[in-house]
Amino acid sequence: MKNNIQIKGIKAIIMRELIVFKREKERLISSIISPLLFLFVIGRSLNQDTVIAGQKYQVFIFPGIIAMNILFTSIRYGLYLIWDKRFDFLKEVLVAPISRTSLFLGKALGGVSGAMIEMFIILIIGHFFVVKLGFFQILGVIAVSFLSSFMIVSIGLSIGGVMKTMEGFGLVMSFVTWPMFFFSNALFEIKSASSLIRIISTINPFTYCVDILRKITMNYSVFPVYLSVINLLLWTFILSFITIKIFEKIDIQK
């Protein structure tokens, strides 16, 4: 039972997430508002020069904001699992003849799909108001976003799988989401940061998401692209593995 993968079951779970995503428009709207505030309020107000000659700060943080949206949406999505565990669909899935690996893949891909839709909206807005992107750049952003989202959804789902109540939501935001965002190169150039911040940022997998996206959108990166990609793949693999282990331990709560 453990290593089976049931394609149809995975599809069912993804389909469920997409229907919910479509129906709960508030989730969509609330989660693209703050990235847009960052992009247009902070991005335009801090009109300083950036490391890259001739580029505005807003353009510099644009890939960081795309990644930010993926980060926040993906973590929050994972935490909805707590809700599911207590009420609806999850119980039905836990007793269905599908493996926990399938459950993980369905949940993860469902979350990725939602994050990708939001990402695309921000990408299009950015394309018209911040920086024009070519076809291949857009494709590149989509591919990297997909991988990043998968990795971060895994983090969210592992936390959601372990946590018992929604009360811990604020803690996760304070100790996981915001630190991952701030201790990265999303808003500033990592080379100009203090050494402590630089060290933490280098460990933070989110830094590499931003770095590749920045390479694609404005051809600038701190780390070599291949290194970032390997880093991301490795993290995705490890986190997925851990999350599947956690999923195998989820019991039905009475």
Partner 1 sequence: MAIIEIFNLTKKFKDTEALKGITLEIEEGEVFSLLGPNGAGKTTLISILTSILKPTSGTARVNGFDIIKQPLEVRKSIGIVFQEPSLDELLTAYENLYLHSMLYNMPKDKARKRILDMLNTVGLYDRKDHIVRTFSGGMKRRLEIARGLLHTPKVLFLDEPTLGLDPLSRRTIWDYIKKVKKEENTTIILTTHYMEEAESLSDRLSIINKGEIIELDSPENLKKKLGDEILKIKGEIDSEKIKKLNFIKNIVFKDGYFIITSKEITQNLSEILKYVKPKDIEFKKTSLEDVFLNITGKKIEELDEE
Determine, following the binding rule CB under 8 A, whether residue 27 of this chain makes contact with partner 1: no
Q: Give the up-direction half-sphere exposure of residue 103: CA atoms within 13 A in the CB hemisphere.
A: 29
Tell me which stretch binds partner 1 (CB under 8 A): 11-19, 47-55, 70-78, 213-221.
11-19
Report the run of H or E that residue 234 belongs to, with start and end. Answer: helix 225-249
Contact between residue 58 and residue 44 where contact means Cβ atoms under 8 Å apart: yes
* Residue 135 tokens, joined: 């076809």
Radius of gyration over every alpha carbon of the chain, rounded to an integer in angstroms: 18
Whose tokens are 């997925």? That residue is 240
Q: How far is the CB of 112 from partner 1 (least distance, A)?
A: 19
Choices 13-21, 31-39, 119-127, 226-234 (CB under 8 A): range interacting with partner 1: 13-21
Rounded Cα distance, 52 and 220, in Å:
8
The answer to the question of residue 26 lying near partner 1 (CB under 8 A) is no
Smallest distance from partner 1 to CB 11, Å: 6
Residues 39, 62 contacting (CB under 8 angstroms): yes
Least CB distance to partner 1 at residue 82 (A) = 16
Binding mask 51-90 for partner 1 (x = CB under 8 A): ------------------------------------xxx-
Cα–Cα nearest to 142, from 167, 119, 160: 119
Name which of residues 84 to 113 contact partner 1 (CB under 8 A): 87-89, 91-99
**Footprint on this chain of partner 1 (rule: CB under 8 A):** 1, 4, 6, 8-9, 11-12, 15-16, 19-20, 23-24, 87-89, 91-99, 251-252, 254
